[in-house]
Amino acid sequence: MESLQVALSQDFFEAFARIPRNKQKKVNEFVGKFRNNPQSSGLNYEKINDAANDQFRSVRVDQDYRAIVMKPSKGNVYLLLWVDKHDEAYAWARRHKCQVNPETGALQLYEVTHHEAAVETEAASEPAEDKAESEGEALFDLRDRELLRLGVPEDRLEQVKAVTSQRALDQMERLLPVEAFEALCFLAEGVSLNEVMAEYAVPDGEHEVDTTDIDAALELATTQRRFHVVEDEAELQQMLEAPLEQWRVFLHPLQRQLVERHWNGPVRVLGGAGTGKTVVAMHRARWLARNVLAQGEKLLFTTFTRNLAMDIEANLRKICTQEEMGAIEVTNINGLAHRALRQIGHPGQVVYPGSDEYSKCWDKALTQSPGELNFPDSFYEEEFEQVVLTQRVQTRQEYFKAKRVGRGVALSRKQRAQIWPVFEEMRLQLHQNGFLTLQDGIYAVMDHLAEGKGDLPQYRCAVVDETQDFGPEMLQLLRALVPEQKDDMMLVGDGHQRIYGRRASLGQCGINIRGRGKKLRVNYRTTEEIRRYATAVLEGIEVDDLDDDQDSLSGYRSLLMGQKPVLKGFSDPKEEAEWVCSEIQKLTDDGMPDRNICVVARTEKHLKDVKSALKEAGRDAYPVRRDSTENTQIPGIRLANMHRVKGLEFKVVFIVAVNQGVVPLQVAMDKTEDVVEKRARDLNERALLHVACTRAVQGLYVSWSGEVSEYLRS
Ligand SMILES: Nc1ncnc2c1ncn2[C@@H]1O[C@H](COP(=O)(O)OP(=O)(O)OP(=O)(O)O)[C@@H](O)[C@H]1O
């Protein structure tokens, strides 16, 4: 007998997540039975009168619940589409269509009748300005053929051609298959037809589609973003245990294209906040472990921040087998450098700028500064970090030749000679105290590797998240640890989220991406309203593409719609803190678990008033830590500074104290007098606010007391 297969739809998991726990157990048993034998006579298939698709059947889960199943006329795959209470399940079946698109070959699921009525009513109550807009020109100047190739079903062509505004398009969301809606959204956002066609359309006239062949449809990446053929019982159980963690199985076709193929060298993945870069990186690591690593070979998965590395390791465990995990090493880049230094037996202790030890060395070094030049102390520190350390300058002669691109003050040869003693003294101080900077530490490791002593692990592949924050020496270290070859590296990042350090170019660090890579455009995390607000914070700012070009934040789209961010100013911080508490109270009264709420400020100090107000209100609150994973199960409001929330997400985010002088942080800005450096810091500060805003999934509250931050004034 031909073996039977079961594919579960993404919608099924959403429906499953919504039903009560005791019923989930029943559904779980049912799914197990169904998967073992979808044709089992005990399953009571019932035809649904008036269903838009005559292959839809309802199947009894228990007395109250029914699952909606598609029983194909041909082939050996059964589709499990929905689960709900009896009447609701039937209503769902009457409202949806599931069929293979004759043009694209993808299996599509979309609404038929319910929302058509809704669209009419909503159109009748459109605000005046939208009505005016909707009487205007058609939004899409496309031929039927192009629309069909983008996956618009034939029976929707006329409606799509009649769309005259973004709002009218938004209202069609459920009436269109997701891929077609997404493609139209990008066109409406101004992404060029060529780009959208390249990413979404089927090649013209390339293949014949058999609309009854569900097996073939399930092979397509477009189908796989919404349907998954379950491999085994263990996978099914994992999926049902965390039905909302859909990233584990349902990849966007663009994500899948990046993950499941061989690349001829390093590949770069760009994408704004929340576009699923980390998800791509994790799936890539699994794919490499399965398809590329030979016995005994290792993969390095590295990030900039420590807590993100820990989160990633915990998530990788959810999608990888133990054996695969055994070949994957997850660590943040500083941790990797520290360990390598120990392994090569380097006696130095790494010290970081801002630490007491480092500052003491500087106090001594600055005694050598030539008074006649009148440079501020900050100038020397910046010059040391950005020129001397970055270019490994050891001698006065080397300093004469060093490139000073990006420094605000030009220096003559004579001036270089005058200031060199400061750096010489700094190196001496560090050395005498047994200290070394991270950069020097990394270079020591690279020297060791270059000598070929063979006592440091090398990796077959590396997957890198948060690449935008890696300094040049870190990228060079990666290059040294991972020999150049096919499938050697994947680097994901977003220059708009650079909150540490400065720009480094992959190419200039020996990582040649040569056009390999893609940009992810669909924001999976935040609502469109929050995404737009967070993008506006960076308006007019130029950001690099991690290599030698520019990147931009246009051409993105979130598919979730929601409330506009709430913005509110107060005359003093106590009032602001009370407001935050009362808004939190409203949210928790409405059923939002407090663990899903995070209050963020530029620094810990600016969380003080909210902390006391929460305490007075008898609420649990605890800080997001640098060195632990974010355990989403522990109750309590989360508190964090802006740096700490990078890479995380919360249902609701409150950003407090967005005051003039705090955002951007005046003390950080005042530390430099160099104009170029000031601009770089301003960018980092804006990026911090952008990062904080983009952590919010459905609710964003931004507040201030006294004068509002200049970043919010426009
Ligand atoms: N294919 C997918 N299906 C469902 N959810 C997804 C998918 N891809 C990503 N997500 C979800 O979207 C959210 C953002 O994903 P992720 O953290 O990978 O984005 P990112 O681009 O790395 O974000 P950031 O740069 O802001 O840290 C997460 O909740 C993730 O689970």
The DSSP code for 203 is P
Q: For ligand 1, which residues put their CB under 6 angstroms from it?
A: 246-247, 250-252, 255, 271, 273-279, 494, 497, 524-525, 647, 649, 694
Distance CA 62, CA 84 (A): 11
Q: Which sign, positive or negative, has the C-alpha torsion 474, 476, 481, 486? A: positive
ipTM score assigned to the predicted complex: 0.99
**Amino acid 633: pLDDT:** 76
Give, using CA atoms, the residue closest to atom 7 of ligand 1.
Answer: 247
CATH architecture designation of domain 5-101+213-241: 2-Layer Sandwich (3.30)
Distance CA 219, CA 75 (A): 14
Give, using CA atoms, the residue closest to atom 31 of ligand 1.
Answer: 247
273 is in an annotated binding site: yes
User: What's the maximum distance between 2 C-alpha atoms anywhere in the chain?
Assistant: 94
**Amino acid 120: pLDDT:** 40
**Amino acid 125: pLDDT:** 46
- Ligand 1 pocket: which of 250, 280, 524 to mutate (most atoms within 8 A of CB): 524
Lowest average pLDDT, out of 312-316, 534-538, 622-626, goes to 622-626
**Amino acid 204: pLDDT:** 67
Give the pair of three-digit tokens for residue 436: 């070394």
276 is in an annotated binding site: yes
Q: Counting atoms of ligand 1 from 1, which one is nearest the CA of 273?
A: 26
Tell me the whole-structure pTM to 2 decimals. Answer: 0.92
**Amino acid 2: pLDDT:** 58
b/e 226-246 (16+ beta carbons within 10 angstroms → b): bbbbbeeeeebeebbeebeeb
Distance CA 504, CA 494 (A): 12
Distance CA 610, CA 597 (A): 13
Orientation angle between helical segments 306-319 and 277-291, nearest 10 degrees: 50
**What would the CATH number be for the domain defined by 565-712?**
3.40.50.300
Work out the percent of the chain whose per-residue pLDDT is above 90: 70
Give, using CA atoms, the residue closest to atom 24 of ligand 1.
Answer: 273
Give, using CA atoms, the residue closest to atom 5 of ligand 1.
Answer: 247
- Ligand 1 pocket: which of 11, 179, 227, 247 to mutate (most atoms within 8 A of CB): 247
Distance 136 CA to ligand 1 centre (A): 36
275 is in an annotated binding site: yes
Give, using CA atoms, the residue closest to atom 29 of ligand 1.
Answer: 525
Distance 526 CA to ligand 1 centre (A): 10
536 CB-contact burial (10 Å; exposed 0-12 / middle 13-18 / buried 19+): middle
Distance CA 430, CA 173 (A): 61
Distance 647 CA to ligand 1 centre (A): 9
Residue of 333, 316, 334, 338 lying closest to 325 (CA atoms): 316
Give, using CA atoms, the residue closest to atom 3 of ligand 1.
Answer: 247
- pLDDT band at residue 206 using 50, 70 and 90 as cut-offs: low
Q: For the chain, which residues make up each domain, given as ranges?
A: 5-101+213-241, 109-200, 251-342+443-525, 360-433, 565-712
Q: Counting atoms of ligand 1 from 1, which one is nearest the CA of 465?
A: 22
pLDDT digits (tens, 9 = 90+) for 14-43: 999 999 999 999 999 988 888 888 877 677
Locus of tokens 């194909």: 72
Distance 396 CA to ligand 1 centre (A): 48
Same fold, 5-101+213-241 and 251-342+443-525: no
535 is in an annotated binding site: no
271 is in an annotated binding site: yes
Distance CA 596, CA 572 (A): 27
Kindly state which CATH superfamily the domain 251-342+443-525 is placed in: P-loop containing nucleotide triphosphate hydrolases (3.40.50.300)
The DSSP code for 399 is H
Q: Counting atoms of ligand 1 from 1, which one is nearest the CA of 245?
A: 31
Measured at the alpha carbon of residue 372, what is the angle toward residues 367 and 378, in degrees to the nearest 5?
55
Q: Counting atoms of ligand 1 from 1, which one is nearest the CA of 646?
A: 27
Q: Counting atoms of ligand 1 from 1, which one is nearest the CA of 695?
A: 26
406 is in an annotated binding site: no
**Amino acid 123: pLDDT:** 44
Q: Mean pLDDT across the stretch 199-225?
A: 86
